Amino acid sequence: MSIDWKQYDSGGFFDELISSPGNARAPARKLANYLASLDEEELEKRRLMAEATIQEMGVSFTVYTEEGNIDRAWPFDLIPRTISRKQWDKTAAGLKQRLRVLNMFINDLYHDQNVINDGIIPRHLIENSVNFRPECVGVSPPHGVWAHICGTDLVRDGDGEFYVLEDNLRVPSGVSYMLENRAITKRVLPELFENDNIMPIDDYPAQLFDTLAALSPRKVKQPEIVVLTPGIFNSAYFEHAFLAQQMGAELVEGSDLVVSEDDLVFMRTIDGLTRVDVIYRRIDDLFLDPEVFDKGSVLGVPGLMRAWKAGNVALANAPGAGVADDKVIYAYVPQLIKYYLDEEPLLRNVKTFLCENDKDRAYVLENLDKLVVKPANESGGYGMLVGPHSTKKDQAKFAELIKSNPRNYIAQPTLALSTAPTLVDNNKLEPRHLDLRPFILQGKDVYVTTGGLTRVAMKKGSLVVNSSQGGGSKDTWIVDTEAK
Amino acid sequence: MMLSRVAERIYWAARYLERVENTARLVSVYDNLLFDLPRSVNIGWFNLVIINSGTELFFERYKVQDERNVVKFTLADDTNPSSMLSSLTMLRENIRTARDVLPAEAWELVNELLLFARNDIQQGINRNGRHAFLNGIIEGCQGINGLLLGTMSRDAAWHFMRLGCNLERADMTTRLLDAGAAVLQLSEDNDTTNLSQIVWGNVLRSGSAYMAYRRTMRTAVNGSDVARFLLSDEHFPRSVGFCLDQISSATARLPTAGKRYASIKPQLPKHDIRDGFCLSPDFRDYLNDQQLVLAEAHNHIASNWFAHD
């Protein structure tokens, strides 16, 4: 049996592709018609082809388990997710506005702290932030930019609007999968690219390269750019290698780099030592330099902070940028936009309760069964409480956690996350919840990817999209429905 | 510009790629050889384990030295670091960590080859599917080599590839000759002319050298000529001498300023290969000296370009 859109029902959630049973939204119309024209055998063939393509392309990610690290094939759902270009352009403008402000904020925090002196952000929030680095005070990175690469998670609520869920400013990952998802779709559903105006996404590596090159302290024609990876056992190693290859940069590990006594960074090559200008680091702050941070770190490079502070090497993202990657700071972003730019936020935040405020905390503790509680500084979906899916025992545990460290917790209403048709067992289409992570670059200019990485919760009814916890992904199409 | 660590991984990728192909060839030739040998000749599959220096490990795992165990050990065994599957896995790991300097298709081809090998390994262990399976592996390796030959810039990465490939090849050629000599020494058969023909013919075939030998040497297959050809022919790409020249020329193109070894030129140990020499114990000593030359070349390469400090 082939796909019958009349049988598809998103169960009241906003669906990305289908507005009501049998009716596709404008950017998804050609896609829906095409999918309906495939018989079941053909659909199965395409699904198997996608699987084989992923294995052949070696697209994988690492899962940490008790039995050791497993290199797993990337989970990919064949059915793309579509967004109209018009809506995307508005969203992209909002993302740019947001990153510009976050960078102004970080730069302010490490210099005059006007934002605190003017009473916008309470001082103790910064003093108690685990990601504020006193070592970075007074440093002036090029263009005043600290977070050069940002992955912002967006969700669509029942009203069809995009909301910002969080800004990932430390070492956001996923962009290589966004690019690979498109490469897979092009191989498996090539017909669709003939008729639909799907906007290309493949300029990201070039944009990343330009962003990084603009940070070079030496004004040379070909600055030496490297990607610093913690190594093959990191869950995002695939991405590190992918980006290095796409940019024509060297992929280095900490042991490949050395800092000289005059604070210059070199890499060990077959010619001897070669000077390095820009490091796109995919290692957390605390492992960067055992001279300054974690003394036992073998992933980092002794002396790297010295070299960075002396302005002899650029680090992207800059150490300390994570201070704005904090779910409590997140709640202040709309105010920060007004403060720094005197503009209205173009993208909305999700309503957020700060547990350190007495009123908010009381409400949160009363309503643990309805809210999503998140620690302020975790990523990857760890350490969360999803109220409606939790037990009394879980709730009691979180009540204790919140009371003992209120600064570290926020809560948000459970969102009616949008859905999209997803291939499940027996080649049937069922609605699954999803989010979207676009990537924003800021160096001399600001750039936003066309779309982003769509992550989808493969389990029925689940809201957890993280690939480390059973999430899948989809190709994301920005479709220009007005182009001729 | 190339990282020392990456240079080392590329070098090992090339060695493992060559090792995978050679192991497949070796098993495939043994398959043929044993059909042709007179029943009275009592050499068995176990010789394969000896050639690959795996005797001790084999007895830790198996009791019976039969075909099935030897082939399993040589092709499929995870606990044998020189098994074909282990080499293939190591090939993939090395390419995976040096992907940024190799053509992207190389990574895809290696993945395909490993998938094929893992899925069809049983075909290689069972006798009836073995030929097709081994052919698939050999063709896969040749496909990867062809891709690299046709798409890689002739820069440092390429020269490290050549180094790894030629060292491994030279190593395998000495092992093949040693295997031939060992079979003949061990056999108690008196009809050595016929046996010698079969054995040396198969040694040539396992190095894909049979046709080249016939055309170049223009003589019947005999031990001394086979040894001369496989050791010192100037034109055949799998002869030890040819591989050593390749190593010299590749190292000459790598940066040597400030390095410990300004030039690396491994040479064949001097020896006069007289007729009948291949049957003497001296011949196997000679081959052993040859192995030492290769080990020294490897050490010099590592010290010049891979040293981490």
pLDDT digits (tens, 9 = 90+) for A174-227: 999 999 999 999 999 999 998 789 999 999 999 999 999 999 999 999 999 999
Q: Which residues of A touch B4 (CB under 8 A)?
A: 256, 268-270
How far does the CA of residue A243 sit from the closest CA of chain B (Å)?
A: 9
B3 touches A at CB < 8 Å: yes
Poorest-pLDDT segment among A87-101, A274-288, B8-22, B53-67: B53-67
Contact map slice: B 46-75 vs A, CB within 8 A: none
Minimum Cα–Cα distance from A241: chain B residue:
B100
Whether A179 contacts A204, CB under 8 Å: yes
The confidence score (pLDDT) of residue A380 equals 59
Q: Which residues of A touch B93 (CB under 8 A)?
A: 232
* Exposed / middle / buried, residue A457 (Cβ in 10 Å: 0-12, 13-18, 19+): buried
How far does the CA of residue B11 sit from the closest CA of chain A (Å)?
A: 13
Interface test mutation site (partner B, options A270, A274, A301, max chain B beta carbons within 10 A): A270
Given A56, A244, A269, which is nearest B100 (Cβ)? A244
Q: Which residues of B touch A241 (CB under 8 A)?
A: 96-97, 99-100
B104 contacts A252? CB cut-off 8 A: no
Number of A/B CB contacts below 8 angstroms equals 64
Minimum Cα–Cα distance from B302: chain A residue:
A270
Whether A284 contacts A172, CB under 8 Å: no
The pLDDT tens digits for B95-119 are: 987 877 888 889 889 999 999 999 9
The pLDDT tens digits for B51-90 are: 888 899 999 999 988 889 999 999 999 899 999 999 999 9
Minimum Cα–Cα distance from B308: chain A residue:
A268
The pLDDT tens digits for A40-63 are: 889 999 999 999 988 888 787 777
Given A56, A241, A269, which is nearest B2 (Cβ)? A269
A251 contacts B108? CB cut-off 8 A: no
Given A58, A224, A269, which is nearest B4 (Cβ)? A269
Q: Which residues of A touch B103 (CB under 8 A)?
A: none
How far does the CA of residue B143 sit from the closest CA of chain A (Å)?
A: 15
Checking if the pLDDT of B309 tops 60, the result is no
pLDDT range class, residue A98, cuts 50, 70, 90: very high
Calculate helix-pair angle for B240-252, B281-301, nearest 10 degrees: 20
Minimum Cα–Cα distance from B304: chain A residue:
A270
B115 contacts A268? CB cut-off 8 A: no
Poorest-pLDDT segment among A116-130, A250-264, B258-272: B258-272
Interface test mutation site (partner A, options B100, B114, B153, max chain A beta carbons within 10 A): B100
Given B99, B111, B305, which is nearest A270 (Cβ)? B305
Contact map slice: B 104-123 vs A, CB within 8 A: 104, 107-108, 111-112, 115
Q: Which residues of B touch A272 (CB under 8 A)?
A: 255, 257-258
A56 contacts B108? CB cut-off 8 A: yes
**Amino acid at residue number A453:** L
Poorest-pLDDT segment among B18-32, B193-207, B269-283: B269-283
Whether A61 contacts A467, CB under 8 Å: yes
Whether B277 contacts B283, CB under 8 Å: yes
Minimum Cα–Cα distance from B309: chain A residue:
A268
Is B175 in a helix, a strand, or coil?
helix
Poorest-pLDDT segment among A244-253, B30-39, B92-101: B30-39
Average pLDDT over residues A127-152: 94
**Among the listed residues B281, B202, B204, the one whose alpha carbon sits nearest the alpha carbon of residue B37:** B202
The secondary structure of B53-97 as a DSSP string is T-HHHHHHH-S---HHHHHIIIII-TT-TTSHHHHHHHHHHHHHT
How far does the CA of residue A191 sit from the closest CA of chain B (Å)?
A: 24
A55 contacts B115? CB cut-off 8 A: yes
- Average model confidence (pLDDT) for chain A? 91
What number of other Cβ atoms are within 10 A of residue A28's Cβ? 28
pLDDT range class, residue A1, cuts 50, 70, 90: low
pLDDT range class, residue B191, cuts 50, 70, 90: low
Burial pattern A345-384, b for ≥16 Cβ within 10 A else e, equals bebebbebbbbbeeebbeebbeebeebbbbbbbebebeeb
A56 contacts B112? CB cut-off 8 A: yes
Given B93, B108, B257, which is nearest A57 (Cβ)? B108
Report residue A149 as tokens: 């690469």
Given B3, B111, B305, which is nearest A56 (Cβ)? B111
Whether A285 contacts A133, CB under 8 Å: yes
Q: CA A258 from chain center: how many Å? A: 30
B255 contacts A251? CB cut-off 8 A: no
Residues 6 or more apart whose Cβ sits within 8 Å of residue A222:
none
Given B4, B97, B308, which is nearest A270 (Cβ)? B4
Whole-number Å distance between alpha carbons of A253 and A273 = 15
The pLDDT tens digits for A354-397 are: 998 999 999 999 999 999 999 887 765 678 888 888 899 999 99
A255 contacts B1? CB cut-off 8 A: no
pLDDT range class, residue B190, cuts 50, 70, 90: low
The secondary structure of B101-170 as a DSSP string is GS-HHHHHHHHHHHHHHHHHHHHHHSHHHHHHHHHHHHHHHHHHHHHHHHH--SSHHHHHHHHHHHHHHH
Interface test mutation site (partner A, options B1, B2, B3, max chain A beta carbons within 10 A): B3
pLDDT range class, residue B120, cuts 50, 70, 90: very high
Given B254, B258, B308, which is nearest A272 (Cβ)? B258
Minimum Cα–Cα distance from A231: chain B residue:
B97
Predicted TM-score (pTM) of this structure: 0.80
Q: Which residues of A touch B111 (CB under 8 A)?
A: 55-58
The confidence score (pLDDT) of residue A381 equals 63
Given A245, A250, A274, which is nearest B99 (Cβ)? A245
Contact map slice: B 214-273 vs A, CB within 8 A: 254-255, 257-258
Query: What percent of the residues of chain A are helix, what percent strand, and what percent coil, each to the nearest 5?
Result: 35, 25, 40
Better-scored residue on pLDDT, A466 or A324: A324
B4 touches A at CB < 8 Å: yes
